[in-house]
Amino acid sequence: MDPLRTLASLCCAIPLLAVGQDCPFDYVTRQFDVRVDTGVYYGTATRYDGGTDSLKMNIYKPVGDGIAARPLLVAIHGGAFLGGHRDDMNEICSWYAERGYVAVTVSYRLGFYPPAALPSPFAYDQADVVRAAYRAQQDVKGAIRYLRGRAAADSSDTDNISVMGVSAGAITALHVAYATEESDKPASCGAIGPVVHGQDQYPRPDLGPMSGELHPGASSAVNACVSYFGAVLDTAVIADASEPALFTYHQTQDPIVGCGYQQALWGMPFGVSGNYPWLFGSCAMDPHMQALGFTSDRYEFHPYEGNAHDIHDLPLVDGWTAVFLARQFCPSEAGLIDGRTAPAPVIYPNPADDRLLVSAEGGLPFLSLYTSDGRLAARTKGNGMAVGHLAPGHYLLEVRTDQGCWRRSVTLSR
């Protein structure tokens, strides 16, 4: 008998993790080795200037998980629709592959016209920026269809796909998840007047359907969306509480993609934002999500009182995200003593080399750490536990608050 599972039944009087047939582990703990296929070609598409881009992706997969149908996460880099690279998301894709996901970072078309006398990031007009974002979401939808077509090669679950983005990538992710009807197509993405630079004119033809034209026939639907400081053109694209689950994080005074209803790049000097579109950031989206009736297990908004276009504490926010995404396809890992509902604690970093930190509701938690053979290794009350003196290996951490009792596998390393 597994001593950790026996121990859990004694500590909290419930199993380690109430998982279904497809959830043999928690999909939060980083525990697997990873292999990666880089530069996988998934199609070509026409750039804003009439040229052609070859679109590629990097595919990260766990090694030794023994799963034939893994959850799939598609990650989208930022860069104001002008720069950035899929490799920017390599690290986070590796983290999710370590958790048991097939995690994929994708390239998409970049670029839009500046005014005649000014360089990028100045924009010719709002329409050209919107068209850049439209091309991005078309490409990512094509990438999702491509990944569905090669599910057997990746051992991925085509019924369990999430999309994640940062900044412009988050704007893209939100529109991939929710802008799924042709009626959602912005008017500026049809045929509009050309860009005029002195005597030169550059046509702006119709950009085609919302879903793009890559790998037609398959679905580009997703189950969940993670937006790190993203925004939408119109909250109406999220129509009801049956839409994909949503996790958002945003600093409240973000000067690049505003948390409220603001022009993109509103905090940049020299009037850069003047020709950028107005967007609904996470703070402006939140009342809409609440009004639609999204439940707390399918919608989380994490505002942070800051003024950076960044994540203030990446291990913490990454932990919140991993718990949220796992909740979308696995039964809850939170076993509560008296049946009340409470958010599961976030434990980070995991693996840890010096100190485990815990973020939990319900006052200061009681923490108990057990070895794989059931021996108590450490116990404390508080939001952290020193582990630098313990041997590397796999342990079980029990977290108790007045809201409930949880167990989580943790790894100590050096």
Q: What is the domain-level CATH number for residue 398?
A: 2.60.40
Question: Whole domain around residue 227: which residue ranges?
Answer: 21-329
Q: Are residues 141 and 288 in the same domain?
A: yes
Residues 6 or more apart whose CB falls under 8 angstroms from that of 369 comprise: 356, 376, 377, 378, 379, 385, 387, 390, 395, 396, 397, 398, 410
Q: Are residues 123 and 153 in the same domain?
A: yes
- Burial zone of 226 (CB within 10 Å; 0-12 exposed, 13-18 middle, 19+ buried): buried
Element (H, E) at 290: helix 282-292
Interatomic CA distance for residues 244 and 238, integer angstroms:
9
Q: Are residues 10 and 28 in the same domain?
A: no
pLDDT tens across 14-29, in order?
Answer: 333 333 335 778 888 8
pLDDT tens across 354-365, in order?
Answer: 899 998 887 788
Interatomic CA distance for residues 395 and 388, integer angstroms:
13
CA torsion 90-71-344-32 (nearest 10°) is -60
Q: Are residues 3 and 49 in the same domain?
A: no
Q: Are residues 194 and 240 in the same domain?
A: yes
What Cα–Cα distance (Å) separates residue 397 from each residue in 134, 318, 358?
A: 45, 19, 10
pLDDT band at 331 (very low <50, low <70, confident <90, very high): low
Dihedral sign from CA coordinates of 370, 403, 332, 319: negative
Q: Are residues 229 and 178 in the same domain?
A: yes
Q: For 114, which DSSP code? A: P
Q: Are residues 11 and 125 in the same domain?
A: no
pLDDT exceeding 70 applies to what percent of the chain? 91
Q: Residue 11: what pLDDT?
A: 46
Decide which of 265, 294, 329 is a domain's last residue. Answer: 329
Q: Residue 373: what pLDDT?
A: 64
Is beta strand 245-251 parallel, antiparallel or unpaired with respect to 278-281? Answer: unpaired
Q: Are residues 58 and 188 in the same domain?
A: yes
Q: Are residues 9 and 32 in the same domain?
A: no
Q: For 352, which DSSP code? A: B
Q: Residue 288: what pLDDT?
A: 97
Interatomic CA distance for residues 106 and 90, integer angstroms:
10
Range in 62-66, 121-125, 394-398 the model is least confident about: 394-398
Q: Are residues 163 and 294 in the same domain?
A: yes
Decide which of 329, 344, 377 is a domain's last residue. Answer: 329
Residues 6 or more apart whose CB falls under 8 angstroms from that of 39 comprise: 56, 58
* pTM of this prediction exceeds 0.85: no
Judged against a pLDDT cut of 80, whether residue 191 lies above it is answered with yes
Q: Are residues 10 and 68 in the same domain?
A: no
Judged against a pLDDT cut of 50, whether residue 46 lies above it is answered with yes
Count up the domains in the chain and report the number: 2
Judged against a pLDDT cut of 90, whether residue 366 lies above it is answered with no
Range in 194-198, 209-213, 333-337 the model is least confident about: 333-337
pLDDT tens across 206-223, in order?
Answer: 999 999 999 998 999 999
Pair 43, 147: CB distance under 8 Å = no
Decide which of 289, 305, 329 is a domain's last residue. Answer: 329
Looking up residue 96, the CATH number of its domain turns out to be: 3.40.50.1820
Q: Are residues 233 and 250 in the same domain?
A: yes
